[in-house]
Amino acid sequence: AELWHLVESTDLLSRALTLRDAVYRVFTSLVVGTAPAAGDVAVLRTSSAEALAAATWQPRVGGLDLSWPDPDPGVVLGQVGLSALDLLRDPASARIKLCPGFGRGGTSCGWLFLDTTKNRSRRWCSMSDCGNVSKSQRQSRRRQDQRASR
């Protein structure tokens, strides 16, 4: 029985990583203005279909809501895929950006974020991480340039 749980957990982890990577590539492709790969879109569709198959419909004022009474981890993955598809269909997806910053370790950040500012001016995923590092690096370069010009 424990071996079965291990195999099941490994499969779930593999599915989660596949979904995570597909979501990242789909949204990154939209940010850079290219069409997402068909295989990545298929991963989202499959995941969403699994969530919809496990859902029940609950009445609410003005319509119906989806509900998942079973907290199965596989269904949760499906909900992630369904949420990603919902965001893709939402006009707000035009506000998704790719962080150009460098994290504290000096590696490229690459995180995706939703720019909710009025004038769409947000530049980094987090000012406290990538924003501060970027500003600090810019200031250091300016100081070096000033010293070199003296």
pLDDT at residue 112, as a whole number: 92
CA atoms within 13 A on the CB side of 7: 4
Residue 56 burial (10 A CB sphere; 0-12, 13-18, 19+): exposed
Is residue 75 over pLDDT 60?
yes
Looking at per-residue pLDDT, the higher value among 116 and 141 belongs to: 116
What does the block give as tokens for 105?
Answer: 């370790």
> Is a pLDDT exceeding 60 seen at residue 4?
no
Compute the distance between CA of residue 9 and CA of residue 93 in angstroms, rounded to an integer: 32
Looking only at the bridges linking them, the beta strands covering 63-67 and 96-98 are unpaired
pLDDT at 88: 92
pLDDT at 135: 67
Share of the chain above pLDDT 90, in %: 47
Question: Residue 41: which pLDDT band, with cuts at 50, 70 and 90?
Answer: very high
- Chain-centroid distance, C-alpha 2: 33
Q: CA 114, CA 33: separation in Å to the nearest integer? A: 16
pLDDT at 148 (0 to 100): 81
pTM reported for the whole predicted model: 0.77
Q: How much is the pLDDT for 104? A: 60
